[in-house]
Amino acid sequence: MKNQDKNTVDGFGDEWSRFDQSALPSAEQQLLFDEYFSVFPWKNISKESTGFDLGCGTGRWARSVAPKVKKLICIDPSSALDIAKKNLSNFDNCVFDSSTVDEMPMQDNSMDFGYSLGVLHHVPDTALGIKQCVKKLKIGAPLLLYLYYRFDNRPWWFRLIWSVTDLLRRVVSKMPYKLRYVSSQIISIIVYFPLARFALFLEKLNFNVSNFPLSSYRNLSFYTMRTDALDRFGTRLEQRFTRKEIKNMMRNAGLENIEFSNSKPFWVAVGYKSSKIKDF
């Protein structure tokens, strides 16, 4: 049985066809890239490195990684792969594969690095997915992950608000694609945008907005809010983990020297394949 949920994969194909990231401002693209790759060990990567982007989507991360490496394998089981091919057509060192995480074409122990951002919390068995990524890495090679957090660094009332929104997600995510899209865009207009911009206003008044709902979008474009609203409310399968749970999964997968980013987005972490790893 494949480690994927077909409805979720199809949903991402629809999402990325609507938001191919062509309208994302370049400065914002760089800002987001720097946040997600803040703990990635670029000093270990060179023009001789070959790695993989699992769940590449439209290729938005690959666009910034490809110029730094010899070869980048972009993997995505959804129709978004066609968009990635178009967006990355200027790079001759990108190759594309429509595999799931348990069908990746690379030989075991062959990759100099890998990353999977915002993907493995959308597969049925996240822990197994991490192991399947680690299996492809050389000893000592880094794996960068971003997994949805369980708000373990937030106050109780923040988690309560999220639980209410998750009920709405469970309804919206089961709608037909067009209704999912329309519903998510309404949410982005009446919830994301006003709360994000109000957080920006409060910040300018010297208020601490770190726990203000959707404050992480305060300096981002409405395009990103629209994209993430569809991602958040249109995705059927979503799992969330505490920092401790993520660390344990990474260790159990054979990663060591694990380092977490202490700034948004939560949680981003990098680990290195151990020489003591056991087959699974």
Q: 6-150+240-273: what CATH class?
A: alpha beta
Domain residue limits, the chain: 6-150+240-273, 156-234
pTM equals 0.92
Q: Catalogue the E-assigned strands of 39-93.
A: 50-54, 71-75
User: Where does the chain have alpha helices with state H?
Assistant: 6-18, 26-36, 62-65, 80-87, 126-134, 156-172, 177-187, 193-204, 222-234, 243-252
Q: How far apart are CA 225 and CA 206, in angstroms?
A: 24
**Residue 7 scores a pLDDT above 80:** no
Residues in the chain: 280
Specify whether the CB–CB gap between 246 and 265 falls below 8 A: no
What is the band of 195 on the pLDDT scale with cuts at 50, 70, 90?
very high
pLDDT tens column, 255-272: 999 999 999 999 999 999
**Residue 13 scores a pLDDT above 70:** yes
Residue whose pair of structure tokens reads 């409405």 in the numeric block: 222
> Coil, strand or helix: which one is 128?
helix
Mean pLDDT of 161-183: 93
- Token pair of 17, please? 């066809």
